[in-house]
């Protein structure tokens, strides 16, 4: 049985942010590990030189121990002395006003930023001592804004697992409730996401990104206001896709 934690976090912080783009780039950097140089120049986040190691035996629990964090260009703290424990396999809802630090909590968990004081642990290990790749292997994040690359739908899904076969890509797409849509495109899985005349709705992009995450099959899933911008579009399909993604995972749902 999965432990279900419903947790309301009312955290400090008053200003809403215009950092959606930046957050996407950070996500891109950590999850896919590409275009590092470019991202580095945008975010000015110091890149760690910690060596990769074998994390097969590591558990997928997360804990925050007296974590305090302020963004480099801000004097107000985004998180102040936060201590939380999220057991392996638990499902947690993170609820709070806009600007209260929900996405920051997720960013710290994924090692995008280092706390000024306190410790974030993944499977009991200090996140600061794990490599970016090691951390990235643990996490999948579904955000409001989905970024598709100007390449085929197949390759867009395969980013989740570059070695995946067509059969694996299709299985993930079926679970993400997007397979039928893809086969209806002019060139099916070979259709380019940037093709003139091919426009995807927010919900379709969302399901493509969910297929990506299903292929990746990481033990921890973060849904950061994943459906907030979708206006009820294909709600049932998206919910089914998200349900597939959460199966047997440690889950954070930012509402
Ligand atoms: N990349 C950033 N740089 C500077 N300040 C940021 C950044 N991201 C968020 N903030 C600020 O940190 C606080 C918490 O933001 P955030 O974690 O995005 O809140 P939430 O996800 O709960 O809406 C806000 O004051 C926000 O303006
Ligand atoms: Mg947020």
Full pLDDT tens readout for the chain, 255 residues: 233 333 323 222 222 232 333 333 333 333 333 344 444 444 444 556 788 888 888 999 999 999 999 999 888 999 999 999 999 999 999 988 899 999 999 999 999 999 999 999 999 999 999 998 899 999 999 988 888 888 999 999 999 899 999 999 999 999 999 999 999 998 999 999 988 677 898 899 999 999 999 999 999 999 999 888 777 778 889 999 999 999 999 999 998
102 lines ligand 1 (CB under 6 A): yes
**Residue of minimum CA distance from atom 24 in ligand 1:** 99
* Cβ-contact 142, 214 below 8 angstroms: no
Residue 185 to residues 42, 178, 180, 182, 199, Cα–Cα distance (Å): 35, 11, 9, 5, 10
For 4-254, CATH gives 3.40.50.300
140 lines ligand 1 (CB under 6 A): no
Query: Which spans in the chain are helix H?
Result: 20-32, 36-43, 102-109, 132-138, 153-158, 166-175, 179-183, 202-216, 235-246
Question: Distance between CA 216 and CA 141 in Å, rounded?
Answer: 11
249 lines ligand 1 (CB under 6 A): no
Selection from 75, 95, 84, 71 nearest residue 23 by Cα: 71
Residue 198: what pLDDT?
A: 77
**Residue of minimum CA distance from atom 10 in ligand 1:** 17
Q: Which atom of ligand 1 is nearest to the CA of 98?
A: 23
Query: Which ligand is located closest to the Cα atom of residue 97?
Result: 1
- The preferred substitution site among 9, 99, 222 for testing ligand 1, maximizing ligand atoms within 8 Å of CB, is 99
Selection from 190, 125, 109 nearest residue 151 by Cα: 190
| Ligand 1 mean position, distance from CA 9 (Å) | 14
Q: Which atom of ligand 1 is nearest to the CA of 43?
A: 1
């Amino acid at each position: 049985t999965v432990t279900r934690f419903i947790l309301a976090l009312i955290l400090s912080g008053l200003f809403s942010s215009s950092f959606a783009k930046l957050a996407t780039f950070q996500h891109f950097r950590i999850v896919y590990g590409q275009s590092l140089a470019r991202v580095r120049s945008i975010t000015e986040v110091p890149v760690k030189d910690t060596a990769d190691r074998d994390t097969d035996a590591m558990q997928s629990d997360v804990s925050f121990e007296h974590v305090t964090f302020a963004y480099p260009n801000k004097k107000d703290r985004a998180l102040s002395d936060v201590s939380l424990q999220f057991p392996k396999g638990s499902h947690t809802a993170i609820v709070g006003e806009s600007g209260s630090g929900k996405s920051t909590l997720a960013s710290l968990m994924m090692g995008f930023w280092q706390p000024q004081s306190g410790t974030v642990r993944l499977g009991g290990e200090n996140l600061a001592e794990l490599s970016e790749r090691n951390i990235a292997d643990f996490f999948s994040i579904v955000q409001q804004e989905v970024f598709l690359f100007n390449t085929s739908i197949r390759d867009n899904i395969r980013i989740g697992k570059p070695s995946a076969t067509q059969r694996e890509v299709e299985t993930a797409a079926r679970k993400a409730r997007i397979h039928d849509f893809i086969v209806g495109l002019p060139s099916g899985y070979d259709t380019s996401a940037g093709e003139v005349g091919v426009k995807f709705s927010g919900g379709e992009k969302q399901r493509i990104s969910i297929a990506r995450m299903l292929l990746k099959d990481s033990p921890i899933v973060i849904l950061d206001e994943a459906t907030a911008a979708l206006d009820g579009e294909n709600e049932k399909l998206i919910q089914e896709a998200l349900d597939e993604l959460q199966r047997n995972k440690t889950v954070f749902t930012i509402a």
